[in-house]
Amino acid sequence: MTGLLLVRGARQLLTLRGGSGPRRGPALRDLGLIPDGALLIRDGLIASVGPSRRIENLAEARSAREISAAGKVVLPGFVDSHTHLVARALRPTASSDTGDPAIPVRSTRAVPASRLLFETRRRLAALIRHGTTTVEIKSGGEDLAEERKILRVLALLKQRPLDVVPTCLAGGRLPLEFLGKPDDYLEWMRARFLPAIRRRGLAHCVDVVCLPECWTASQARLCLESARRLGFRLKVHAGTSGRDGAVRLAVGCGALSADHLHYADEDEVALLAASSTIATLLPGCDRPLAADPLPPARTLIEAGAAVALATGFAPGAPSPFSMQAVVALACSRLGMTPAEALSAATINGAHALGLADRLGSLEAGKQADLLILDAPDYREMTYHCGGNLVAMTLKRGEILHRQGELKWPED
């Protein structure tokens, strides 16, 4: 989008500005709040941020289109750094009408790519309405054809209307063609598949899952090392099943993030705190009633680890798609403060994708990805789990979503 746009009069402008690295410890609670704040946007990028009086007096601001945020909160758009948005499609059955939660799903192998694209765009529209402006989406097909199909669909979603970060998911389970042959799968992945998707630009990251039914930690390391040599950014599913060695693997390979972390022990927390690897927690899809413990958010924060939040959304699974809900759940389930949770859902989510140089905070030179909340205080978000406070979502200075009007009947 070209031209000038002035967003003015915000009761609270949360900039998340400052610092070159992810937020840690007490810095997680510093939202860079400006009362009565404004920002000037030029050609989709943030030109100036500050108190409304100062920004409104800029020469450029006098010719800008205006959006009033009076009485509202303005903050960076949410960065959802862990989803499986294209994973599978629901197939409701008669049993689902009787309250059976186990609704069968049909594999994406049986769904045409055009249908997958349509369903994914519909889900992206829901994310936009709830304030997500950047989303990571993993592949993870059951066989090689399904894997390629998902990555091709993701290639069609890049940049518009959201920033979509495609990630190749490897190691969670053996593809049908390699059942009982984990070494052959590893060799094929390293020698053929990863180089091919790198040449075609089909993935930004490679995410490896350490599960005994597929790869050991040493096999996963070989995959990650090959991916790094090819220029991929790295992510690891870690701490999902006891002492799987995945946290040490993530830190040792310089991964952007280690995700889930049900079973992060004291030594692993210390490793994360001393590293640049982000601890990405999923309080909405990591079920509190299951046998798995909840991620140790307070321990991680107090140790100095950089913590991010994500939805983990997957069609057909009990997971939220709203980052607002994730922020609320992080406060109620994980003991995070509202400020910590917002930092984790914005600037630290951007670091978990290697994109914090242009996303995650409201600073001059960054993309104008922002939300206007229909609330006078950011802490209200933690009281509205399941609701939607987003009055407007802007991506690169363009309005993608505007809250609809409700017409009350006359008395």
Tokens of 191: 């020698």
Question: Per-residue pLDDT tens for 201-241?
Answer: 999 999 998 877 788 889 999 999 999 999 999 999 997 77
Alpha-carbon distance of 373 to 318, in angstroms, equals 26
DSSP codes, 252-269 = HTT-SEEEE-TT--HHHH
Say yes or no: do domains 4-76+362-402 and 78-351 share a fold: no
Q: Give the Cα separation of 270 and 398 in Å (integer).
A: 42
User: Residue 137 pairs with which residues in a beta bridge?
Assistant: 166
Report, at the CATH architecture level, how domain 4-76+362-402 is classified: Roll (2.30)
Question: What CA–CA distance (Å, rounded) separates 53 from 51?
Answer: 6
The closest alpha carbon to 259, from 249, 324, 141, 267, belongs to 249
- pTM, two decimals, is 0.92
pLDDT at 88: 56
CATH architecture of 78-351: Alpha-Beta Barrel (3.20)
Task: State the pLDDT at residue 204.
Answer: 95
Residue spans of beta strands (DSSP E) within 187-281: 205-209, 233-238, 257-260, 278-281
One digit per residue, pLDDT tens: the chain, 411 residues? 458 999 999 999 999 998 889 999 999 999 999 999 999 999 999 999 999 999 999 999 999 999 999 999 999 999 999 999 986 555 555 444 544 444 444 466 778 888 889 999 999 999 999 999 999 999 987 788 888 899 999 998 876 789 999 999 998 788 888 989 999 999 999 999 999 999 999 999 999 988 777 888 899 999 999 999 999 999 999 977 767 789 999 999 999 999 999 888 999 999 999 999 999 999 987 554 456 788 999 999 999 999 999 999 988 777 888 999 999 999 999 999 999 999 999 999 999 999 999 999 999 999 999 999 999 999 999 987 778 999 999 999 999 999 976 666 765
Domain boundaries, the chain: 4-76+362-402, 78-351
What pLDDT sits at residue 98? 46
Which tens digit of pLDDT belongs to each residue from 306-358?
999 999 998 877 788 899 999 999 999 999 999 999 999 999 999 999 999 99
